[in-house]
Amino acid sequence: MFWPDTISKILQIKYPVIQAPMFGVSTPQMAAAAAKAGALGSLALADLSGDQSVKLIRKTKEMTDQPFAVNIFAHHIPEITDALKEQYAKAKQLITKLAKDNNMEVTLPDLQDIKVNSYHEQIDAIIEEGCKILSFTFGNLDDQSIQKLKEKGVILIGTCTSVEEALDLEKSGIDLICVQGIEAGGHRGTFDAEHIPLIGGIALLSEVYDQVKIPLIYAGGIYNGKTLKAAKELGAQGFQVGSILLASQESGLQPFEKERLKNVTEKEIVLTRSFSGRFARGITNKYIQTLENSDFILPYPYQNKLTGELRRVSKALNNADFVSIWVGQSIHNYSSLSTEDILKNLILEVE
C-alpha cells in the first residue's frame, strides 16, 4: 500500500491528497469534484466576511456530502498611521495613472472606504455551519480561537514555511501542518509578511519532519507521481496540489488566463508583493514589473484591497498584464480536464 493512512483516517478521506485552497481559483465546484476523486476538497474563504463565508460554505454543502476543508487567512491587520495614509494616497495615484496609460479607467477606493475583516467572525461562522476541518495560512490562530474550535471538534491544519513556524504551530496544539516549499504557487504562508524564508521544499520538509511529531502535509511543486513520491520519501503523510488544477473545468480562472499558462516559461515565474502586499508566486507582467521594488507597495491587506478593482477591470478586458495569475515553479501541461479526473489520474500514476 503506497498511501500513508494517518491523515486519511484523521480527515476521513480515501486518499491523503488535498486540493489546495486558492482564493480566486478554487471554487465550491472544485472542492466537490476533489471529493469525488477521494481527495480532500478545500474551500478558500481568505479574509471574507462571516456572511460571505457562510454563503460559500452552504453552496459547497449543496454540492457534496463528503468532508471538505475551509481555509482562512490568520493575518495581522496593520494599524493605520499617518505614514500609511500618505503611502496609500501615492500608491493609489500611481496605479490609477498606470491603468489610464494602458487604456483602463479604474476607480480605486479611498483608504477610509476599505473594510478590513479579521478572521474571528469567520471562526464563528465556521462553527455555526458545523465545518469540521479548518486550514489557515499567514500566521497562527490566537489561543482563544484554537480552544473554541477544538471544543467543537474541528481539525486544525496550519501552514509553515520554516522550522520555527512549524514548532510554533505544534506548540499551539494544531493537529496537522502543511509544509509549504518556496516552489509553491500563490501566497507564502509565512507568519512575517516582510521577511519570507527562501527555503526549498526538499530541505524544509526534511528539517520539519526531524523536529515535529505531528503529521505533515507537503505543498510545493507536486505535479506528477514522481514529485508526490519524493515528498512521501521525505516524511510527508499528506500531499497538497494546486497548480495542476489551475486550468481545470472548475477553476475560477478566465479562458485568457488559462491560455497564458500554456505559454509560461520558468524565467517568467516570480515572487512579488505588488498585488497584495504579501509575497506570492506567479507569472510576471507589466504591472508587477512596474511596481516591484518601488515604494508603492502597501502592507497586506491594504495593497490587496487597493488593487482589487484594477484586477477586476483587467479580467473583464482579458488583459493579462494587470491580473495576478498565481502559479508554482513546476511547469507542466496544465490540464483542462475536470478536477476529479486530474486528481484520479495523479492517484493512478502514483500507484
List, for residues 218-272, the tens digit of each pLDDT value. 999 999 999 999 999 999 999 999 999 999 999 999 999 999 999 999 999 999 9
Q: Work out the pLDDT band at 194, boundaries 50, 70, 90.
A: confident
- Does 330 reside within a domain? no
Looking at the structure, do residues 206 and 121 belong to the same domain, yes or no? Answer: yes
Looking at the structure, do residues 145 and 291 belong to the same domain, yes or no? Answer: no
Closest C-alpha among 155, 121, 158 to residue 136: 158
Looking at the structure, do residues 92 and 149 belong to the same domain, yes or no? Answer: no
- Does 18 reside within a domain? yes
Distance CA(333)–CA(342), nearest Å, equals: 11
- Does 349 reside within a domain? yes
Looking at the structure, do residues 52 and 196 belong to the same domain, yes or no? Answer: yes
**pLDDT > 80? residue 65:** yes
DSSP assignment letter at 251? -
Looking at the structure, do residues 194 and 298 belong to the same domain, yes or no? Answer: no
Q: Which residues form the domain of 301?
A: 80-115+254-324
**pLDDT > 80? residue 1:** no
Number of structural domains found in the chain? 2
Q: Judge whether 267 and 41 are in contact, CB under 8 Å.
A: no
Distance CA(7)–CA(239), nearest Å, equals: 10
pTM score of the predicted model: 0.97
